[in-house]
C-alpha cells in the first residue's frame, strides 16, 4: 500500500509520530505548523481509520474554523 503523501513537508507516518506530542501541546511551533499544513492538505490521513482517523477529522474541522467557541452541551 502506498497511500502516504508528503504534504506540508511531512509524510503521513511522520504526522502520526508527532500527533501525540501535538495533542499534548509538546510540539515545537515549527513542527505544529507542518502538522497543521499536512492535515489541511492531506485527506489520506483520515483513511488510516480507527482512533487516528477520528482525531485527524476532528483536528481538520477545528483548523477550518477561526473561532474558538467551545462545543455546547
Q: Which residues bind Zn ion (CB under 5 A)?
A: 12, 42, 44-45
Q: Which cell numbers hold the place of 58?
A: 476532528
The owner of cell 474558538 is 68
For Zn ion, which is the closer residue by CB, 26 or 43?
A: 43
Smallest gap from Cβ 53 to Zn ion, in A, equals 11
Spatial distance between the Cα atoms of 36 and 56, rounded to a whole number of angstroms: 10
For Zn ion, which is the closer residue by CB, 26 or 41?
A: 41
For Zn ion, which is the closer residue by CB, 20 or 69?
A: 20
Show the beta-strand stretches assigned E in 1-73: 6-7, 10-11
Amino acid at each position: 500500500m502506498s497511500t502516504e503523501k508528503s504534504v506540508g513537508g511531512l509524510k503521513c507516518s511522520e504526522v502520526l509520530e508527532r500527533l501525540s506530542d501535538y495533542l499534548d501541546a509538546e510540539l515545537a511551533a515549527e513542527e505544529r505548523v507542518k502538522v497543521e499544513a499536512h492535515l489541511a492538505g492531506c485527506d489520506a490521513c483520515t483513511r488510516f481509520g480507527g482512533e487516528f482517523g477520528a482525531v485527524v477529522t476532528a483536528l481538520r474541522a477545528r483548523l477550518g474554523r477561526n473561532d474558538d467557541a467551545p462545543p455546547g452541551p
